[in-house]
Amino acid sequence: MQCVVITGASSGIGLATAKTFQQAGWRIINISRGACPLDGIINITADLAHPTTITTISTSLLDNLEDCTTLSLIHNAARLDHDTVQGVDPQALRQTYEINLIAPAALNRVLLPAMSTGSSILYVGSTLGEKAVPGSFSYVTSKHASIGMMRATCQDLAGSGIHTACINPGFTDTEMLRDHIPANVMSEIAQMSAFGRLIDPAEIAATLLFAAQNPVLNGSVLNANLGQIER
Ligand SMILES: NC(=O)c1ccc[n+]([C@@H]2O[C@H](COP(=O)([O-])OP(=O)(O)OC[C@H]3O[C@@H](n4cnc5c(N)ncnc54)[C@H](OP(=O)(O)O)[C@@H]3O)[C@@H](O)[C@H]2O)c1
């Protein structure tokens, strides 16, 4: 059986990804604070902001993977704050890095022994992994590091038969975007893609499934943003 461990499948891109992989016949193990609302998902309730979380859930995670032939590990959960280089709160910055970076690294360490040839580690990055906008300091810096983590993963796993990639969504219609962008500017945001619309989370999910199935993408950064218009 093919299995996927995904963080943050309770909503947005993670939820759409769980649905897409489930329809393709994969077993889904979700890690988030709230449950994934789909039937037939294994939910491991966890707050990735806590430094001991991955150690605490590791036995239950591995128990659910015993009969998996291949495993795709998708690092999707993230925190996005409004903050700046002048005002960033170090404690908030630590929490963002804990969720966006330390938890993925800790999960890799726990799950790599359960990954055989054909498995994959996929990072959900962001367009803001390769450029910056004002007012998202901790997020921008963490998403740049996600790309670095993917590249280091690729180098360290050479010869293992496990592949990796970083998928960078553009503006995608999820709670995270709606929480971050005022409703009255959402239509302007949609016009920033060359297609004049927001991305449907299912489109990112389909990209992640493709990446899980195609080791030729090993080490790639995939910009899944409909073509962003630079002004
Ligand atoms: N939407 C966009 O426009 C966009 C653009 C570029 C990149 N992305 C990336 O896409 C990924 C998914 O974002 P989304 O837009 O789908 O956002 P979302 O709908 O807000 O989903 C975020 C997910 O992360 C989980 N999460 C957040 N904090 C957590 C914590 N402390 N512990 C465990 N889980 C936590 C949430 O689960 P719980 O709240 O249940 O814990 C939720 O399932 C993120 O990596 C984001 O950076 C999104």
pLDDT tens-digit profile of 158-215? 999 999 999 999 999 999 999 888 888 898 999 999 999 999 999 999 999 999 999 9
**HSE toward the beta carbon, residue 161, CA cutoff 13 A:** 9
- For 20, residues 6+ apart whose C-beta sits below 8 A from its C-beta are 202, 205, 206, 208, 209
Ligand 1: residues with CB < 6 A are: 7-8, 10-14, 32-34, 47-49, 76-79, 99, 124, 126, 169, 171-172, 174-177
Q: What angle do CA 122, 164, 14 make, to 5 degrees?
A: 5
**Cβ atoms 80, 137 nearer than 8 A:** no
Tracing tokens 């609302």 back to the chain, one arrives at 37
Which atom of ligand 1 sits closest to the CA of residue 128?
A: 6
Using the predicted structure, report yes or no on whether residue 43 has a pLDDT greater than 80: yes
pLDDT tens-digit profile of 76-130? 999 999 999 999 999 999 999 999 999 999 999 999 999 999 999 999 999 999 9
**Average confidence (pLDDT) over 140-154:** 98
Closest CA to 191 of 133, 139, 230: 230
Tokens of 84: 């700046």
Which residue of 13, 186, 197, 222 sits with most ligand 1 atoms within 8 Å of its CB, as the best mutation to test the pocket? 13
Please write down the HEC assignment for all residues of 77-100.
Answer: CCCCCCECCCCCCHHHHHHHHHHH
pLDDT tens-digit profile of 3-20? 999 999 999 999 999 999
Closest CA to 165 of 106, 107, 224: 224
The rounded Å distance from CA 192 to ligand 1 centre is 21
Q: What separation in angstroms does the CA of 77 have from each of 4, 28, 71, 85? A: 14, 15, 18, 23
Confidence of residue 230 (pLDDT cuts 50, 70, 90): confident
Enumerate the β-bridge partners of residue 43: 30
How far is residue 123 CA from its own chain's centroid?
5
What is the model's pLDDT at position 12? 98
Domains of the chain: 2-173+200-224 (3.40.50.720)
What is the model's pLDDT at position 180? 87
pTM given for the model: 0.98
- Positive or negative, the Cα torsion across 186, 48, 130, 211? negative
Confidence of residue 231 (pLDDT cuts 50, 70, 90): confident
- For 219, residues 6+ apart whose C-beta sits below 8 A from its C-beta are 150, 151, 154, 164, 165
